[in-house]
A and B are shown apart, each in its own frame.
Chain A
């Protein structure tokens, strides 16, 4: 994190850390597919993926806590927008599914949707504060 520029939440180091972790999570997914379902090894791979997600959250929270007070406020407002938006979209899709729309695994899209709405929220709130 660049202490000289508190506006920069997503610096190269943070992005690098998260991309490496995301890559490992995807690689473990492919590795897990080749293993027998319910086997100790496959369960260990699933556990390792969960642990890596915990690291992503840790790095993200640490990056946000280094921001100045206005940027922190902007990100917290954006996270609230993302949280509510993701939940609303999930519920709305369930209603549509019940009405006969094709079903799909919403869980896979959960993280990308949350991150996308977070980014949109940050852009909208930054615009508000000028």
Chain B
């Protein structure tokens, strides 16, 4: 699944570890989502969307569409 997480994080000047702390996940999880090796669960996707003040579909894009 494509996403804009790296861009949104960079806009705020956060490191992967900073974002991981805010989302209560590991830095590796943030990296795996950013590199599109791992698709987050729905609860985590909602947490990400809430943190960046948007909707899930503003951040994640289903590549199959």
Partners in one complex: yes
Binding site for B on A (CB under 8 A): 4-7, 68-71, 73, 126, 128-130
A68 near B35: Cβ-Cβ < 8 Å: no
**Neighbouring A residues of B29 by C-beta, 8 Å:** 6, 68-71
Q: Which of B14-49 contact A (CB under 8 A)?
A: 21, 24-29, 31-32, 35, 37-38, 40-41, 44
**Neighbouring A residues of B21 by C-beta, 8 Å:** 4
Give 26 CB contacts A-B under 8 Å: A4-B21, A6-B24, A6-B26, A6-B29, A7-B26, A7-B27, A7-B28, A68-B24, A68-B25, A69-B25, A69-B29, A69-B44, A70-B25, A70-B28, A70-B29, A70-B32, A70-B38, A71-B28, A71-B29, A126-B28, A128-B37, A129-B28, A129-B32, A130-B31, A130-B32, A130-B37
Binding site for A on B (CB under 8 A): 21, 24-29, 31-32, 35, 37-38, 40-41, 44
Q: Tell which of B24, B26, B27 has the most Cβ of chain A within 10 Å.
A: B26
Q: How far is the CA of A71 from the CA of B31 in the complex (A)?
A: 12
**Neighbouring A residues of B38 by C-beta, 8 Å:** 70, 73, 129
Q: How far is the CA of A7 from the CA of B24 in the complex (A)?
A: 11
Closest CB in chain B relative to A71 CB, distance in Å: 6
Q: How far is the CA of A73 from the CA of B44 in the complex (A)?
A: 14
Q: How far is the CA of A123 from the CA of B41 in the complex (A)?
A: 22
B41 near A69: Cβ-Cβ < 8 Å: yes
**Neighbouring B residues of A69 by C-beta, 8 Å:** 25, 29, 40-41, 44
